[in-house]
Structure 1
């Protein structure tokens, strides 16, 4: 088992303030998420986590549905040692006017079975014990979803580039653009090995093709400049709350130039200790 401390985030707050969206974001980042875990099961759950090395990052959604048991939360968290867990309580809040508007617009029922204004007032009272535990309070009244993601990313210290999952793929324009990509780079301006008879049937994974492409100054300059651009962009995407990045590099047939440049970029990113995988869509076509 790893000696690295586990991260435990309690995602809580007022109903309608964005807890579900926050939990979804944590899930996208690879966290083991449980919404509305009964506090009566908290100790059993922690014991399960301790013996399961796959659950190193945990996000628990706790809300008003736990009622008076929320008073137990300080004692429950006190049972966890800081040598074992990094613990953070994030409380999502919004103005009463904003919460009323959101419930009215979505037609969702408030979990407290009272008229809406009274339900919100009751919820604030019930949630007060856990509010006092909060390491960070985020007022979502005027936030768009992207802005909420950015705030959560900064709280999670996700400026570490290694937290992002990166996929680098090659493709051939003659077979169509990939459907889901964040960045598409056209490398058809590079010298084409297809027109070299002894290289035509090889691919960008073959050393002879790679040496041919890199024998040209523009290929070397492009590889360096594009790698620097991607290295610059990754922290910017993380700041925006993005946890997955797909980079597609295309040439005419998807066998030579795009394959080599995608392979070279993935290799470079992995040398930076990033989690980058490569996939060559049209190499066998």
Structure 2
């Protein structure tokens, strides 16, 4: 058998979706990743941008504001391109729940393109109906309802980085459920079954990085057995993910405030995974948050 030849086809990524769902952010991130990015390019001129240069990567953004935009015609154009052996064509659709889109429009005080003098909700409804064929057709769908800007950037990097790492990248993170579950997590473990160090005298202002907090958590009757089971599960799953070609795996441990139990468990698990042959990165999302009793809830007797 001969050696694998590099893919020299032109890469074409069509980026579309709901207004306010993050298309501009996605295109900027794609540009940082090495794609040539163009936004709101007239649909009737798309053929002129496809020139089959070897290895050329082009991301084109369009939406309901783009001149000549008709979803059915875009789909037919993509079908024609898909028959071209010199092209690799992918369609990305960015979606977002209506209530969140309304919040974003109201926050920026922008008028929806299709709303005119109607409420923004009317414009969003009309746009969703117009784009529904493209949403069904798209190869990749990203829902940004619960995403921060950084969440979307990371998702774009995971999906469309041209030079993906040869080895799987493992991230072990901690977070507080009171501040929301990380949208990019692949595996989430809830550590709130452990006794909460927040209510232990002298530990509230400390974190899971402090020895005294770790000692308190380790004294829990169920910590050792549950930790061992999670570690065994991860050491079984991670090689299987790698075999399936998964590039990034984010393992998230959560507790109420994200400062004690989740932090300690994430640090200890990262160490265990290193011993198992992996090289995880550790992130603590809410480590710097203020210790608040209203967040932590009531103390159990």
Q: Normalising by the residue count of structure 2, what TM-score does the alignment of the two structures yield?
A: 0.49
Q: Which has the higher helix share?
A: 1
Is the CA contact 1:94–1:141 (under 8 Å) kept in the aligned structure 2? yes
Name whichever of 12-21 and 137-146 sits farther off: 137-146
Q: Which runs of 5+ in 2 are unaligned?
A: 1-5, 167-246, 250-301
Matches within 5 A, 1:137-176: 137-156=141-160, 158=162, 160-161=164-165
C-alpha separation in 2, matches of 1:68 and 1:27: 23
Look up the match of 2:58: 58
Question: Which runs of at least 4 in structure 1 moved beyond 6 Å after TM superposition?
Answer: none
Name whichever of 97-106 and 25-34 sits farther off: 25-34
C-alpha separation in 2, matches of 1:42 and 1:70: 14
Question: Post-superposition shift, 1:117?
Answer: 0.9
Q: How many residues align?
A: 160
C-alpha separation in 2, matches of 1:28 and 1:73: 26
Q: 1:3 to 1:94 in 2, by over 3 A?
A: closer
Name whichever of 128-137 and 22-31 sits farther off: 128-137
Look up the match of 1:70: 71
Question: Post-superposition shift, 1:142?
Answer: 0.7
Question: Post-superposition shift, 1:158?
Answer: 4.9
C-alpha separation in 1, matches of 2:84 and 2:137: 15
Q: 1:116-171: CA deviations, max 9, x gaps?
A: 11100010011112112211111101111221122222222556249xxxxxxxxx
Residue 44 of structure 1, aligned match among 41, 44, 48: 48
Look up the match of 2:97: 95
C-alpha separation in 2, matches of 1:70 and 1:92: 15
Look up the match of 2:108: 106
Look up the match of 2:19: 15
Look up the match of 2:239: none
Q: Normalising by the residue count of structure 1, what TM-score does the alignment of the two structures yield?
A: 0.51
C-alpha separation in 2, matches of 1:42 and 1:135: 19
Is the CA contact 1:10–1:90 (under 8 Å) kept in the aligned structure 2? yes
Q: 1:237-275: CA deviations, max 9, x gaps?
A: x969xxxxxxxxxxxxxxxxxxxxxxxxxxxxxxxxxxx
Question: Post-superposition shift, 1:22?
Answer: 0.2
